[in-house]
Amino acid sequence: MGKYEKGTPKEIANRCKSKGLQKLRWFCQMCQKQCRDQNGFKCHLMSEAHQRQLLLFAENPDTYLKEYSVQFEKAFLTVLRNTFGTKRVRANEVL
């Protein structure tokens, strides 16, 4: 099997995969799955695996929301600590 021609969807997809981490624009927090584009994300939302995760969430939403809040708080405070140290800064200015 030879290489794919430049500009074909398969070649572009392989190039994106080789870059590693990508923007978190198309990320499903429920499934911990990242998609490369809007179409992939839409397909993921319709998938059976995602629907199962939604059913689990519907059974006990408080547990999931609490876990997500704890994760967010830890990550936010880590960024705050590493970026600004002991300097005072408004919460909405932290990137």
Q: In the 3-class helix/strand/coil scheme, how is the chain assigned residue by residue? A: CCCCCCCCHHHHHHHHHHHCCCCHHHEECCCCEECCCHHHHHHHHHCHHHHHHHHHHHHCHHHHHHHHHHHHHHHHHHHHHHHHCCCCCCHHHCC
Residue tagged 């430049």 (tokens): 6
Task: Return the minimum-mean-pLDDT range out of 8-17, 53-62, 66-75, 86-95.
Answer: 8-17
The domain limits of the chain are: 23-59, 60-95
pTM strictly above 0.85: no
Query: Which pLDDT score is estimated for 4?
Result: 66
Write down the residue that tokens 């994300």 correspond to. 41
Confidence at 22, pLDDT banded by 50, 70, 90:
low
pLDDT digits (tens, 9 = 90+) for 23-81: 678 889 999 998 888 999 999 999 999 999 999 999 999 999 999 999 999 999 999 99
Q: What is the C-alpha R_g of the chain?
A: 19
pLDDT category of residue 14 using cuts at 50, 70 and 90:
confident
